[in-house]
Amino acid sequence: MRLVIIGSGAAGLSAVQTLIEHRNTFDVVLITKDTRFYALFSLPSYVAGEIDERYLDRFDSRYFEDAGIEMKLATTVKAVNPQSNSVLLEAGDELPYDQLLIATGATAIKPPIEGLDKGGVVTLVNLRDSEDILARAKSKIKHAVVIGGGFVGIESATALHRLGAQVTIIEREGYLLPRMLDEDTAEIVNQLLQEQGIEVHTSTTVNQILGGKNAQGVQVGQKQLECDLVIVAVGVRPNLDIIQGTPIRTNEGILVNEFMQTNVKNIYAAGDVAEALERASNELKVNAIWPNAITQGRVAAQNMLGQQISYQGSDAVNLINIFETPVVSIGQTSREIGTCEVIRIHRSKVYKKLFLCDGQVMGYQAIGDLRNAGFLLHAHRTGEDITAIIDSLKKDNLIGQHYWRSQQNKHNQ
């Protein structure tokens, strides 16, 4: 039996690791555009100089070679053909499979802005982009513009700031991190950035990237901002190109069941390309978060081996560190939840916001303090009623083992 995995991101490598652990009489082929096995989330830290290039790689290729994995590095898949159970490579070769995992991740969205093809315009979604930025940094990046104030945009902005560049963030929504935070919470993030000298413009769009061959500025409304680097970080979309024209069902991503299986029986999908069950909402969603991809890849691999393991669902959890200040979000924002009870805790350099419906945690946002975040994530996942400890949470007491023991005792009675 031949098992083929397309993609070497979190989901693809997690699947390969799982297959190695359960190695039997089957062949495994890993196909990837990359030549190195690095973690995408480490790229901003690499650009900022916080991670040495030697420590970027999650695995040495010899690890897979020693395990007998056939690797096709620097190889692009052009199309998947479910009818013939094969994948067509860009070089023209056709590779048959018995079971296929599509873990092609996501690709950066390119907004309709004139001048995106100029030199010095990057997306920071791969190692090549990072190396491009660092090469430009050697001749000094004076001013960088980041288009997009989401997770990747802010991480990119803080990394460039650490390189010594003047940085401006331009976000078309009314506030930063709109998929992660409410407006009041996001305003504190805005303050954290501006205190460090990062300029932030919200409710603003870039109309054009200026310059000749290389970017020299951006047109924002009637104003022009000079810059020598532009990072486009307006979001990502699942990479579905290789399944166009196939019977594989898609929505935002590739639709999968509880076994990470598509509607084509021997084809699976995992990671940022997959639209899978979200635990709390019980709906199919793309939650492009590293831990979700790791778990999905493992579950997909187990089911490719016929183990019938159910995926318990993804979590909408984000954690970002902004100049040593942690910012976490769990679940939904108020815009998604609608009417609910809101509990706020605000003290020096700490802001927390908890959303409850009938005692159940629907969402949580915190800046400056991560205490109780793990407990609230668990409560969000399980849907348990936490009304009995609301007073303790309001006082910002740490919910510890005594609570878990009391809950266990209740379940055992």
List, for residues 77-107, the tens digit of each pLDDT value.
999 999 999 999 999 999 999 999 999 999 9
pLDDT of residue 60: 85
pLDDT tens, 204-227? Answer: 999 999 999 999 999 998 899 999
Measured between its terminal Cα atoms, the distance across the chain in Å is 49
Per DSSP, the three-state class of 403 is: helix
Torsion on CA atoms 396, 402, 405, 407, rounded to nearest 10: -40
* Domains of the chain (ranges, CATH numbers): 2-107+236-304 (3.50.50.60), 121-232 (3.50.50.60), 324-412 (3.30.390.30)
pLDDT confidence of 395, banded at 50, 70, 90?
Answer: confident
- Condensed to tens digits (0 to 9), the pLDDT of residues 136-182 reads 887 788 999 999 999 999 999 999 999 999 999 999 999 999 999 99
Q: Cα separations (Å) of 213 from 81, 115, 120, 209, 228?
A: 40, 9, 9, 11, 12
126 confidence band (pLDDT: 50, 70, 90): confident
State residue 32's pLDDT score: 96
Q: What would the pLDDT profile of 38-84 be if each residue is shown by its tens digit?
A: 888 888 889 988 888 888 888 888 889 899 999 999 999 999 999 99
What pLDDT is stored for residue 125 in this prediction? 85
**Amino acid code (one letter) for 352:** K
Q: For position 403, what pLDDT does the model report?
A: 53
Dist. CA 396–CA 129, nearest whole Å? 42
Tokens of 388: 């009995």
Q: Which two tokens stand for residue 242?
A: 């290789």
Q: pLDDT category, 402, cuts 50, 70, 90?
A: very low
Write down the pLDDT at residue 319.
94
CA dist., res. 413 & res. 409, Å (int): 6
**pLDDT tens digits for 321-360?**
999 999 999 999 998 888 899 999 998 889 999 999 999 9
> ∠ at Cα 25 (22, 28), nearest 5°?
70
The alpha carbon of 401 is separated from its chain's Cα centroid by a whole number of angstroms, namely 31
Structure tokens at 235: 């979001």
- Residue 406 pLDDT level (bands cut at 50, 70, 90): low
- Render pLDDT for 277-325 as a digit per residue (tens, 0 to 9): 998 788 999 999 999 999 999 999 999 999 999 999 998 999 999 999 9
pLDDT for residue 246 is more than 50? yes
- What confidence score (pLDDT) does residue 408 get? 52
Residues 6+ apart with CB under 8 A from 232: 108, 110, 111, 113, 116, 121, 122, 123, 147, 148
Mean predicted lDDT score pLDDT of the chain: 91
- Identify the pLDDT of residue 186: 97
Summarised one tens digit per residue, pLDDT across range 366-391 is: 999 998 999 999 999 888 899 988 88
pTM beyond 0.85, yes or no:
yes
Which amino acid appears at position 63 of this protein? Y
CA distance 23 to 355: 45
